[in-house]
Structure 1
Amino acid sequence: MNTHLLSNARIVTPTEDFTGSVMIENGIISEIIKDKYYPEGIDLKGRWLIPGCIDIHTDYLEKELYPRSGAGFPLPFALHFMDTRAAACGITTVFSAVSFSDNEEKNRSLGEAMELSRQIDVARHSLLVRHFLHARIDPNSEGLPDYLEPMRQLESLYMVVYNDHIPGQRQYTLQQQIELRTKAFGITPDEAMARLQKQMDKTSKINNRAQIYETFKDKYILGSHDDTTIEHVEEGKYYGATLSEMPTTLAAARKAKELGLWICLGAPNYYRGGSHCGNLSSIDAMAEDLCDILCSDYHFPTMLGSVVKMMGNGINPSKAVNMVSLNPARLLNFDAETGSIEVGKKADLVAFSSEKSFASVSHVFVDGITKYRADYSVAIQPLAVEQTELNRLNTSV
């Protein structure tokens, strides 16, 4: 039997936090002991001990694949370093977003998105943390139906989100999109508008939501992305969505809450104090209890960073931690096995300290196995160099 003990930790459960120890047997939490220190265990030195973060939406893989426009790297190379970074940020389950769209301005075709997803399927079992696919499907893509059944064969696909790209409808206004294209393509505002009008004329006539729903309704989590109006939320709900992901307005978020949808917003939005593109602030949404889940969106460190910031702002530690662990687990129907520190659940655990207004992760466990270890309590000492050697080096320069 593989047994080990984590001791002297500030443990956060779904309803309380306390100093104590956690016993792990064969990758499962077997006992949680309050107010007791075991010197024979792994001494966490009073650090926070929480369930590993479950990131239901990240675009971070794109940063490793294309750190600069036109400078691409192979998927195994990119995924390895994304995986390492996720572990170092306390994320034990990652859903990488892959866009399925025939929008000519996207960085890959439907066929290329399919091939990328198949490569992730192959690579995911040899990584540090758990990896899944989050398909951002553009329902206004004409060529999409040919790819729906092949997508069902993807082992790692578990989330499917309607990601509408009709210009001016959701995240960005028409004027914002004109400005973005003028800058990105070096064209005039009139030329940008002409391109957008062509795209609007084509995509507004296509809606594959019914076929997407029929394909994925049986075993996949469905969601709607960038809901802006009440009608957007109602449409998502009609086509099986249980998640409103990144609603851009209070009106949309309020409607999602009314209809019983889970609401996910970006952790960078909360940590920075607002949306980078002027949409709904996570802070404003939380003030009305309109945010259930925080995801990394485009920046891994802000998941735990937001937990630290929430606690600093007076939010109960259990509520803060649940937003990056138990709540996403409940959305995904993973909560019987993971998402919280409870006896009988998988030992996906993270230890961190928070003295500097962000999380310094020291330990990450997946199935009770150490996947990341860093000791920030040990100061880096300068190398001892003999004075004669320094004189020689100075002379040679």
Structure 2
Amino acid sequence: MTAEYIEGASLLLDDRIVTGSVRIEDGRITGIDVARDGATVIKARGLLLAPAFVDIHGDAFERQVMPRPGVAVPIPAALLETDRQLAANGIATAYHALTLSWEPGLRSVDTGWRIVRALEDLRSRLTADNRIQLRWETFCPEAEPLIAHVLQGADRPALAFNDHTTSALLHPSIPIHDRPFDHVPDYPVTDLASPAFAAKLSDRAKRAHMSPAEFVDLITRIWSRRPAVPADINRIAAMARRAGVPMLSHDDTQVETRDHYRALGARVAEFPMHDRVFHAARAAGDAIVLGAPNAMRGGSHLGSPSAAEMIARGLCDILASDYYYPAMLGAMVRLHADNIAPLPALWQLVAANPALAMGLTDRGRIAPGLRADLLLIDWPEGGPPAPLRTWVAGRAGYSALPTARQPHPEPAV
């Protein structure tokens, strides 16, 4: 692999931004402000060089697999397109939030198998480090063989516990953010025969290629599995612990919920939905994840806590792309413009912190010896930033560098 010398950039380091040069070779950062030593020079004066993004939860790939409801495309083509989008948005490491559900269609176990097999077959052709977050719906024991397969694979995945079955059946008199712990005996269930419940599930029915009435009948039958769910969760968590993979719990609304999953080994709280859960997670030393689109847009589209507010309060460690890959950089723009924190501190939310939470100690920062996962950005004064080049382990994963460029003054950031 040819050595490269990124010269004169504004380097986004752990706690400061300085002008300097970075040398990379054989997939690693070999030095900062060292001799070129025969490396190819990339002139970067006036540009920002930052750690590439580590995205621990992204499901935007679903829009490549199914660009319109009920319209599927070949999975290998969809994943190759997804990979290009990752690199073009500065994401060097991506955990695809692969929902494994009892629902037919896009989020079924069958589709999960096809996506996993395609990623395995395409591995040598992919640019970014494509990994899997096993986003397991806890009412879906049929997913266990697939989970076991991925846990034994070469690419260390993550496992996230999801329960959209119990949340879908919540009685409408109770706000979703106050939903009781999933396993309480007297969980308040909606009227499954009501027209309002069928209407609520219409989008999920469409995704599953079913009528609302058919979907209501299906979820009613699935609900009968509830007595077996705690044992299923314990068994899958034990598999993940044996494999040594990081675990997350999703959409926690109660301290009891967070405590339950922490006891199983899930030390990451993904998208908590109530202030009390944030405080419980912080007190226990759990990592807290929120969506970058939340931060980019200035709030959650679901009415969940504001990412910017939680970051300012010290109650958010990680931002994930969620459903929109450009939001990783977009969140940095919005949070920096709103003076939520200095840019080096903000950048840890999308690089160093998610890498640490996933046990990836070789990336997420600009430092000698680490992987050369880097993002070169054109960020002019008063203008929006644009990724110009992404390196993934030193490989040129994406490049929009012009052949001749008039340098900007030093970036405003």
1:335-377 Cα offsets, whole Å, 9 max, x none, are 2x21100011111110112346643001111222222111479
The answer to whether the Cα contact below 8 Å between 2:294 and 2:301 also exists between their aligned partners in 1 is yes
Distance 2:374 2:111 in 1: 35
Matched, 1:166 2:165: yes
Local SS of the residue matching 1:236: helix
Secondary structure of 2:376's counterpart equals: strand
Does 1:287 pair with 2:303?
no
Give 1:217's match in structure 2, choosing from 230, 241, 255.
241
Counterpart for residue 409 of structure 2: none
Amino acid at match of 1:224: S
The TM-score normalised by the length of structure 2 is 0.82
For residues 158 and 137 of structure 2, the distance between their equivalents in structure 1, rounded to whole angstroms, comes to: 14
CA distance in 2, matches of 1:189, 1:119: 31
CA distance in 2, matches of 1:177, 1:298: 25
Task: Output the CA distance in 2 between the equivalents of 1:351 and 1:8.
Answer: 12
Structure 1 residues 203, 115: closer, same or farther in 2, change over 3 A? farther
Deviations 1:270-327 (A, max 9, x none): 1001111111221221132111011100101010111122222222121111111111
| Letter paired with 2:71 | A
Q: Is the CA contact (8 Å cut-off) linking 1:20 and 1:33 kept in structure 2?
A: yes
* Corresponding residue of 1:363: 389
Structure 1 residues 371-386: aligned runs within 5 Å:
371-375=397-401
- For the pair 1:272 / 2:292, whether they are aligned, the reply is no
Deviates more, 1:280-289 or 1:207-216: 280-289
Deviation string 1:190-217 (CA, Å, 9 cap, x unpaired) is 9987776554444365221110111110
Listed as ranges, the gaps of 5+ residues in structure 1 are 380-397
Aligned residues: 375
Q: Deviations for 1:57-105, whole angstroms, at most 9, x for unmatched residues? A: 100110100000111111110011111111111111111111112245x
The answer as to whether partners of 2:278 and 2:315 remain within 8 angstroms in 1 is yes
Whole-angstrom CA distance in 1 between matches of 2:76 and 2:284: 41
81 and 148 in structure 1: CA distance in 2 versus 1, 3 angstrom threshold: closer
Within-5 A mapping of 1:230-245: 230-245=255-270
Task: Say if 1:121 and 1:156, in contact at 8 Å, map to a contact too.
Answer: no
- CA RMSD, aligned part only? 3.1
Correspondence for 2:343: 317
Q: Check conservation: 2:252, 2:271, Cα contact below 8 A.
A: yes
Residues 182 and 30 of structure 1: is their aligned pair in 2 closer, same or farther, counting only changes over 3 Å?
Answer: closer
Rg larger for: 1
Per the TM alignment, residue 110 of structure 1 is displaced from its structure 2 partner at its CA by 2.0
Query: Match for residue 113 of structure 2?
Result: 114
C-alpha distance after superposition, 1:84-138 (max 9, x if no partner): 111111111111111112245x634323312321221221221111111110012
What aligned pairs does 1:1-397 form with structure 2 within 5 A after superposition?
2-33=2-33, 41-103=41-103, 107-168=106-167, 179-182=199-202, 199-203=222-226, 205-207=228-230, 208-218=232-242, 219-314=244-339, 315-335=341-361, 337-355=362-380, 358-375=384-401
Structure 1 distance, partners of 2:383, 2:224, is: 48
Judged with a 3 Å threshold, the aligned counterparts in structure 2 of structure 1 residues 372 and 191 are, in CA distance, closer, same or farther, namely closer
Instruction: Return the letter of the residue paired with 1:212.
Output: I
**SS in structure 2 of the partner of residue 370 of structure 1:** strand
**Residue 333 and residue 177 in structure 1: after superposition, are their counterparts in 2 closer, same or farther (change >3 A)?**
farther
Contact persistence 1:167–1:196 (CA under 8 A): no
| Distance change in 2, residues 1:317/1:376 (3 Å) | farther
Distance 1:45 1:352 in 2: 11
After superposition, the Cα gap between the structure-2 partners of 1:340 and 1:188, relative to the gap in structure 1 and judged at 3 Å, is closer
1:167, distance to aligned residue in structure 2 (A)? 3.2
- Cα distance change of structure 1 residues 308 and 204 upon mapping to structure 2, 3 Å threshold: farther
Moved more, 84-93 or 143-152: 143-152
Q: Scaled by the length of structure 1, what TM-score is found?
A: 0.85
Task: Note closer, same or farther for the CA distance 1:234–1:376 as it changes in structure 2 (3 Å cut).
Answer: farther
